[in-house]
Structure formats: C-alpha cells, structure tokens
Amino acid sequence: MAKIAVIGAVLEKPEECQSQFNAIISEYKHLVKGRLGLPMHEDKVSAISVIVVGELDEINSLTGKLGNISGVNVKTSISKKEI
C-alpha cells in the first residue's frame, strides 16, 4: 500500500548540487505531489520540501539517492497510515 511522506532537504551549496537534485526528483516524478523550494541566496543555501505518495521502497530509494548527493542533507517523515 502507498504512504504519504514529506521529504525535507537542505542544499548547502545549491550551485553545485541543485541540477543533480532536480534530475533525481524528475526520475521519481510519478511519486511527487508537490514541491516547495526556498532559495536563500544571501546564505548560499536552499531549503526544499517535497510531498510524495508511493510504496515505502520507492520513497526510501528516492530519499537514499538524494542523501548521497554531496552537500545535500535529507530527512523524511513517512505516515503510518496507508492510503
């Protein structure tokens, strides 16, 4: 069964890792229900939240790929309720 999750990411050097981050999100676009990005140019960081709905394995795979990007910190909150 599918679950809903919120993936929160902080890109510490967005100019170096944002294109790779976006490419991975595009690979999983079938899961993505919403995305909010906040570029903080003065601090040279970006904060991004992504709402996804999918199987637990898919959500974990996406989170793992994003977390393996240098300069990206990721945390995911997954609902206990199946939808």
Question: If you search the block for the tokens 């903080």, which residue do you land on?
Answer: 40
Q: Are 78 and 7 in contact (CB under 8 A)?
A: no
For 50, the enclosing helix (H) or strand (E) is strand 45-54
| Domain locations along the chain | 3-78
Parts of the chain with a pLDDT under 50:
none
Q: For residues 6 and 34, what is the distance between their CA atoms, to the nearest angstrom?
A: 10
3-state secondary structure at position 56:
helix
The CATH superfamily assigned to 3-78 is ACT-like. Chain A, domain 2 (3.30.70.1150)
Q: Are 18 and 70 in contact (CB under 8 A)?
A: no
